[in-house]
């Protein structure tokens, strides 16, 4: 198909072992492609979009596929049912992380994303849960509404730079939630520092680099001028990984001490720790979780993880997907707008109290997550024990979206798939934006709310249309995507037209927040 729109959201479980463990007799490994010495099946995989290869493999080998990629044993889950059976129902086995050769030299071993399943990881999760559970997340709604209102004003006044406005919306929300910091509209010094840092650190989870270093550790010791050297890259990542945590965490502590900051994940965690005696291990965990909360989005772009799911930069990608879908599927846009007009009217903006009364808008949100996942591959898991699933052996150490059986015509943007005949929502919420099991995103409530209020606000006030040429004819196009471990739409021609005057939009309020 054109435009690279064939994507499969997978959870790959890696066994970081050079030799296969013993497994029970008469219990075979799951089927999979042919492996070759040393390389395994690596040459059979399209490195720019591996999920496409896994999608093709599914037709030959089924929903559970075993293969080897270099030195790693890999188990690929290709269906909703298998993902739920293993990652949800057997989460006590399928919640560990593999060990990457890059984590220590690149300085990211202490981040929540790659922590092994154990006491430190549980402490990190507790910090996230206390600040971002469904009840705690509600206190951020006024801020989210205000940011969404500013987003639509920016889009109405300057539609050409819509992607930059989505970026501002995303970044400002995550900085406010995590650090209690209100970012400057442009060129914010802390944001600029963080952006540079996470770009350097993200290279630590590049699967190609991690595999090469695991096989050839000496590459890390080669002089920087030699081809194949990882030394300079690792040093830069280490510099930022250390400084990133200290700079932003220090800024947040200073704001808490001076009373300048607003309620945030860090302020909540620090106050609880003070009550419990300022435990040093908890202070360290707070610092590391906050860094992951912001910077983890780039690691999530390599593989999904923890609060990186909620990092609004990933939501920015989903918002870009939403805009693309509205341009290409105007009938869905019109139905959602009609629903908002009927329920909300035109004299105010949608707010969270309207959400139960807007089932089709909810369906649009779910379909945005499903239709084009921003991170087609999920962060690899590792099993803590051997397992047997439906007659196949799963070794210790080794984990799903366009499932045609669950979602007919999976490459069509069709919110109706989540709507019953009576107009109410189906019971099934689309889960893949936030993961499965014990590693499910702890900040999913905040991320979901930020996405919903942005989408509802944009639909209420703006039309997303095909661009026109100099003769007034609509420009047809096939969507194209930037491929890699993560993906996003390439720039596409579109018009954003206010449904009312910008001054009217600027005067709209959100009642009953």
Chain Cα centroid distance, residue 194: 18
Closest Cα to residue 51, out of 435, 404, 486, 437?
Answer: 486
Torsion 47-51-56-60 (CA) sign: positive
Report how far apart, in Å, the C-alpha atoms of 149 and of each of 120, 173, 369, 452, 458 are. 39, 13, 22, 13, 9
CB within 8 Å of 463: residues ≥ 6 apart: 333, 337, 495, 496, 497, 498, 499
Hey, what are 291's tokens? 């860094």
Hey, what are 341's tokens? 């007009």
Report d(CA 320, CA 162) in Å as an integer: 9
CA triple 485-490-491, angle to 5 deg:
150
- Residues forming a β-bridge with 468: 474
What φ, ψ does residue 392 adopt, rounded to 5°? -115, 140
Tell me if residue 362 falls in helix, strand or coil. Answer: helix
Tell me if residue 75 falls in helix, strand or coil. Answer: strand
Report d(CA 347, CA 499) in Å as an integer: 12
Hey, what are 312's tokens? 């609004």
Report how far apart, in Å, the C-alpha atoms of 470 and of each of 338, 351, 473 are. 31, 39, 7
Contact (CB, 8 A) for 458 and 20: no
Strands (E), 248-344: none
Q: Which residue has the tokens 């994303």?
A: 113
Report d(CA 97, CA 401) in Å as an integer: 22
Hey, what are 372's tokens? 């084009």
Tell me if residue 486 falls in helix, strand or coil. Answer: coil
CA triple 504-505-508, angle to 5 deg:
90
Say whether 145 counts as a known binding-site residue. no
Contact (CB, 8 A) for 496 and 464: yes
Query: Which residues are annotated binding-site positions?
Result: 441
Query: Which residues are annotated binding-site positions for heme?
Result: 441
């Amino acid at each position: 198909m054109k435009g690279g729109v064939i994507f499969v959201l997978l959870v790959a479980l890696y066994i970081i072992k050079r030799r296969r463990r013993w497994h029970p007799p008469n219990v075979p490994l799951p089927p999979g492609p042919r492996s070759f010495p040393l390389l395994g099946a690596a040459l059979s995989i399209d490195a720019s979009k591996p999920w496409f290869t896994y999608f093709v493999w599914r037709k030959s080998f089924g929903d559970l596929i075993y293969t080897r990629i270099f030195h790693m044993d890999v188990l690929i889950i290709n269906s909703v049912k298998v993902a739920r059976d293993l990652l949800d129902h057997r989460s006590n086995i399928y919640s560990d992380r593999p060990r990457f050769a890059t984590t220590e030299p690149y300085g990211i071993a202490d981040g929540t994303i790659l922590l092994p399943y154990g006491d430190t990881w549980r402490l990190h999760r507790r910090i996230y849960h206390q600040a971002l559970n469904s009840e705690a997340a509600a206190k951020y709604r006024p801020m989210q509404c205000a940011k969404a209102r500013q987003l639509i004003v920016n889009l109405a006044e300057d539609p050409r730079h819509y992607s930059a406005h989505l970026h501002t919306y995303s970044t400002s929300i995550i900085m406010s939630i995590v650090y209690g910091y209100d970012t400057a509209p442009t060129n914010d010094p802390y944001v600029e520092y963080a952006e540079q840092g996470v770009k350097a650190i993200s290279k630590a989870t590049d699967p190609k680099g991690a595999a090469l270093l695991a096989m050839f550790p000496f590459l890390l010791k080669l002089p920087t001028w030699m081809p194949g050297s990882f030394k300079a890259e690792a040093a830069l990542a280490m510099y930022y990984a250390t400084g990133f945590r200290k700079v932003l965490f220090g800024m947040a502590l200073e704001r808490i001490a001076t009373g300048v900051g607003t309620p945030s994940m860090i302020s909540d965690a620090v106050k609880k720790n003070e009550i419990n005696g300022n435990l040093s291990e908890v202070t360290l965990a707070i610092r590391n979780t906050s860094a992951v909360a912001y910077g983890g989005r780039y690691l999530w772009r390599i593989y999904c993880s923890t609060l990186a799911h909620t990092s609004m930069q990933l939501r920015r990608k989903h918002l870009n997907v939403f805009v693309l879908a509205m341009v290409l599927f105007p009938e869905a846009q019109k139905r959602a707008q009609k629903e908002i007009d009927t329920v909300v009217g035109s004299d105010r903006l949608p707010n969270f109290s309207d959400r139960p009364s807007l089932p089709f808008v909810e369906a649009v949100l779910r379909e945005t997550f499903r239709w084009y996942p921003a991170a087609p591959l999920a962060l690899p898991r590792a099993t803590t024990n051997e397992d047997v699933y439906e007659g196949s052996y799963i070794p210790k150490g080794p984990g799903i979206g366009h499932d045609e059986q669950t979602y007919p015509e999976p490459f069509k943007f069709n919110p109706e798939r989540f709507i019953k005949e009576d107009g109410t929502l189906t019971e099934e919420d689309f889960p893949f934006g936030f993961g499965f099991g014990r590693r499910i995103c702890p900040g999913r409530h905040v991320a979901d709310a930020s996405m919903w209020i942005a989408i509802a606000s944009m639909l209420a006030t703006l039309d997303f249309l095909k661009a026109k040429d100099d003769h007034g004819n609509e420009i047809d196009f096939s969507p194209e995507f930037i491929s890699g471990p993560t993906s996003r739409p390439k720039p596409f021609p579109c018009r954003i037209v206010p449904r009312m005057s910008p001054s009217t939009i600027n005067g709209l309020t959100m009642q009953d927040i």
